[in-house]
């Protein structure tokens, strides 16, 4: 049997790496800064576009030897702050001497962070831009570092070159960010390479959007740019610049929503990891099943039998609940007294008022005849409504059931024949209360009579259900016995089922904890 059966299901609600990330998220939120990261392929023109946004060639033209290779850009007096992994900090004010930074990094140890300050009013006091290494960097640590850094970034501007928009590298990277609920602003650079004769721009644009949709990638905006042919008709560089500067300028207002998204993304990543680990654990048990000579179809069969058995145990309760639900659906919006019938009620009530007289001589006989005529019209109309709106549907419901399963079919059919309410004179006369018979009274009267009709028919329906459940007991018992025999044949995989259930329940508890956050 399964080697894992004797072990306790171990579920790591939060790994060491996730605890560290939680610390970083909390630290980021406390700093009250809106962070926008620029990332993409190395050759996509990301740095060129970013330099254009900044209005100057601020970024290094060749890589700086750093552990993270991520450069921060803030608003302020021109300068550069460099921190080494040892904690040592080097500042340059009034200039950004990249060559000296490069030499200091090589000779003075590994650089952990670089931060540029420049007079950039659109960044305000709360926004920071981060320039990250290419996702296709030859340094294998760069992509991992970039992705990790982006997890605590509020907004992503992802730059792709025209020829590689739908590359697997781009799509996989963007999918990870989208799953984290990151707002994605996509830029397709080098749009001047587009050949309208080969493919219309409309079809090219739709193809990109369709691909993102099929991958489950949600984007906020998609723009096309060209740094070489700035007058190109498809170039949206100006729109990109206006929109990006507006986002950065209003970063402080966006922060509450951004922080909420970051924390939500953090918990979603844990849930995703737990779901993946759960599937791996379940697959391991299923593989052991196969090695023991059992098939997954037997597992599916046993699961279905177990569900059917659980239903069979509660067959009587489910049977009664079904009819109760159907009954409620029938009477929910029933209208026994529509306008025409209500008018008959009003007319009859009027006729039994003390001052009511009819005929030229206003004789007692003529008055009584008119009263009786109005009452009979009301009774006939009400009887018809009860039959068409309730009784018909109740009989249809009960007769839709397979009566051949009953051991007391004749008794049930006899009880069904009694599922009828005879509307009599007393039904109306005994309900009349003293007082003026105005419009409000008529409404109350019809409402009371409707409730009385429903109550009486509900009692009659309950009698039918009681007799039917008695007649179904033998069938339900046989059904249980059959299911028990089938389950007994599959008892050899019970241990595997128990372990699979433990795994599923254990992980589900952990997942629900994080979903609640």
Inform me whether the pLDDT recorded for 108 exceeds 90. Answer: no
Residue 252 and residue 365 in one domain: no
The verdict on residue 261 lying in a domain is: yes
What domain range is 52 assigned to? Answer: 22-279
pLDDT per residue as tens digits for the range 199-254:
999 999 999 999 999 999 999 999 999 999 999 999 999 999 999 999 999 999 99
- Whole-angstrom distance, CA of residue 10 vs CA of residue 8: 6
Which is more confident, 262 or 70? 262
| CB of 296 closer than 8 Å to CB of 286 | yes
What does the pLDDT read at residue 6? Answer: 44
Residue 188 and residue 337 in one domain: no
Q: Which helix (H) or strand (E) holds 224?
A: strand 221-224
Which is more confident, 142 or 178? 178
Q: How far is CA 450 from CA 14, 334, 397, 419, 428, in A?
A: 59, 9, 21, 17, 11
Mean of the pLDDT values across residues 422-442?
93
Mean of the pLDDT values across residues 12-30?
87
Inform me whether the pLDDT recorded for 150 exceeds 50. Answer: yes
The verdict on residue 434 lying in a domain is: yes
- Whole-angstrom distance, CA of residue 479 vs CA of residue 387: 36
The verdict on residue 507 lying in a domain is: no
Residue 266 and residue 313 in one domain: no
Residue 246 and residue 345 in one domain: no
What does the pLDDT read at residue 146? Answer: 58
What does the pLDDT read at residue 60? Answer: 63
Inform me whether the pLDDT recorded for 87 exceeds 80. Answer: no
Mean of the pLDDT values across residues 319-346?
94
- Whole-angstrom distance, CA of residue 177 vs CA of residue 265: 9
The CATH number linked to 252 is: 3.40.50.300
What does the pLDDT read at residue 2? Answer: 45
Inform me whether the pLDDT recorded for 141 exceeds 70. Answer: no
- Whole-angstrom distance, CA of residue 437 vs CA of residue 440: 8
- Whole-angstrom distance, CA of residue 69 vs CA of residue 148: 13
Mean of the pLDDT values across residues 138-143?
51
* DSSP conformation class of 33: -
- Whole-angstrom distance, CA of residue 508 vs CA of residue 502: 10
The verdict on residue 11 lying in a domain is: no
Residue 463 and residue 331 in one domain: yes
Per-range mean pLDDT, top range of 17-21, 79-83, 432-436, 472-476: 472-476
Inform me whether the pLDDT recorded for 455 exceeds 50. Answer: yes
User: Which tokens hold the place of 2?
Assistant: 């399964």
Residue 272 and residue 356 in one domain: no
Residue ending a domain, among 279, 307, 338, is 279
Residue 323 and residue 226 in one domain: no
Inform me whether the pLDDT recorded for 109 exceeds 60. Answer: no
pLDDT per residue as tens digits for the range 363-408:
788 888 999 999 999 999 999 999 999 999 999 999 999 999 999 9
| CB of 40 closer than 8 Å to CB of 158 | yes
| CB of 260 closer than 8 Å to CB of 28 | no
What does the pLDDT read at residue 326? Answer: 94
What does the pLDDT read at residue 362? Answer: 64
Residue 167 and residue 275 in one domain: yes
Which is more confident, 400 or 139? 400
Residue ending a domain, among 219, 246, 279, is 279
Inform me whether the pLDDT recorded for 42 exceeds 80. Answer: no
What does the pLDDT read at residue 155? Answer: 94
The verdict on residue 6 lying in a domain is: no
Inform me whether the pLDDT recorded for 9 exceeds 70. Answer: no
Residue 104 and residue 174 in one domain: yes
Inform me whether the pLDDT recorded for 3 exceeds 50. Answer: no
- Of the ranges 79-88, 278-287, 489-498, which one carries the lowest mean pLDDT score? 79-88
- Could you give the number of structural domains in the chain? 2
Inform me whether the pLDDT recorded for 4 exceeds 50. Answer: no
What does the pLDDT read at residue 359? Answer: 67
pLDDT above 90 as % of the chain: 57
Mean of the pLDDT values across residues 260-275?
89
Please identify which residue in the block is written with the tokens 């003390």.
Answer: 354
Please state, rounded to an integer, the average pLDDT across all residues of the chain. 87
- 90 pLDDT band (50/70/90 cuts)? confident
Residue 320 and residue 391 in one domain: yes
Mean of the pLDDT values across residues 81-93?
82
Q: Which helix (H) or strand (E) holds 80?
A: strand 79-84
Inform me whether the pLDDT recorded for 58 exceeds 80. Answer: no
What does the pLDDT read at residue 1? Answer: 42
The verdict on residue 8 lying in a domain is: no
What does the pLDDT read at residue 101? Answer: 64
Inform me whether the pLDDT recorded for 28 exceeds 90. Answer: no
Residue 400 and residue 431 in one domain: yes
The verdict on residue 44 lying in a domain is: yes
């Amino acid at each position: 049997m399964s080697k894992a059966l004797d072990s306790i299901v171990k579920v790591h609600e939060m790994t060491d790496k996730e605890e560290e990330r939680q610390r970083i998220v909390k630290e980021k939120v406390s700093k009250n800064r809106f962070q926008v990261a620029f990332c993409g392929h190395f050759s996509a023109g990301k740095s060129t576009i970013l330099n254009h946004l900044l209005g100057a060639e601020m970024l290094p033209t060749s890589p700086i030897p750093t552990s993270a290779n991520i450069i921060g850009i803030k608003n302020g007096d021109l300068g550069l702050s460099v921190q080494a992994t040892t904690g040592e900090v080097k500042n340059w004010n009034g200039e950004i001497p990249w060559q000296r930074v490069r030499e200091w990094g090589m000779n003075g140890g590994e650089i952990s962070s670089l931060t540029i300050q420049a007079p950039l009013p659109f960044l305000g006091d709360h926004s920071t831009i981060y320039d990250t290494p290419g996702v296709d960097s030859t340094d294998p640590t760069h992509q991992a570092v970039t992705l990790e850094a982006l997890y605590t970034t509020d907004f992503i501007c992802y730059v792709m070159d025209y020829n590689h928009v739908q590359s697997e590298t781009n799509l996989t990277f963007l999918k990870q960010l989208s799953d984290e609920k990151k707002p994605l602003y996509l830029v397709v650079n080098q749009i001047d390479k587009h050949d309208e004769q080969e493919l219309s721009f409309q079809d090219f644009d739709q193809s990109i959007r369709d691909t993102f949709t099929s991958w489950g990638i949600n984007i906020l905006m998609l723009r096309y740019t060209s740094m070489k042919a700035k007058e190109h008709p498809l170039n949206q560089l100006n729109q990109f610049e206006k929109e990006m500067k507006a986002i950065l300028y209003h970063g402080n207002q966006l922060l509450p929503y951004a922080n909420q998204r970051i924390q939500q993304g953090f918990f979603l990543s844990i849930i995703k990891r737990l779901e993946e680990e759960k599937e791996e654990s379940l697959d391991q048990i299923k593989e052991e099943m196969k090695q023991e000579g059992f098939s997954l179809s037997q597992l599916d069969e046993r699961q279905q039998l177990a569900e059917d058995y659980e239903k069979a145990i509660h067959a009587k309760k489910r049977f009664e609940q079904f009819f109760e639900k159907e009954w409620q659906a029938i009477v929910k919006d029933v209208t026994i007294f529509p306008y025409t019938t209500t008018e008959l009620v009003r007319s009859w009530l009027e006729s039994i008022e003390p001052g009511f007289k009819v005929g030229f001589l206003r004789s007692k006989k003529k008055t009584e005849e008119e009263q009786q005529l109005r009452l009979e019209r009301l009774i006939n109309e009400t009887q018809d409504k009860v039959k068409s709106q309730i009784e018909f549907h109740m009989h249809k419901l009960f007769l839709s059931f397979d009566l051949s399963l009953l051991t007391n079919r004749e008794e049930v059919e006899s009880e069904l024949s009694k599922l009828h309410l005879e509307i009599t004179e007393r039904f109306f006369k005994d309900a009349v209360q003293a007082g003026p018979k105005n419009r409000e009274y008529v409404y109350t009267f019809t409402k009371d009579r409707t409730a009385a009709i429903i109550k009486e028919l509900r009692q009659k329906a309950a009698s039918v259900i009681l007799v039917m459940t008695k007649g179904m007991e033998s069938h339900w018992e046989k059904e249980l016995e059959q299911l028990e025999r089938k389950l007994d044949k599959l008892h050899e995989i019970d241990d595997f089922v128990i372990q699979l259930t433990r795994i599923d329940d254990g992980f589900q508890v952990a997942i629900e904890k994080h979903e609640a956050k």
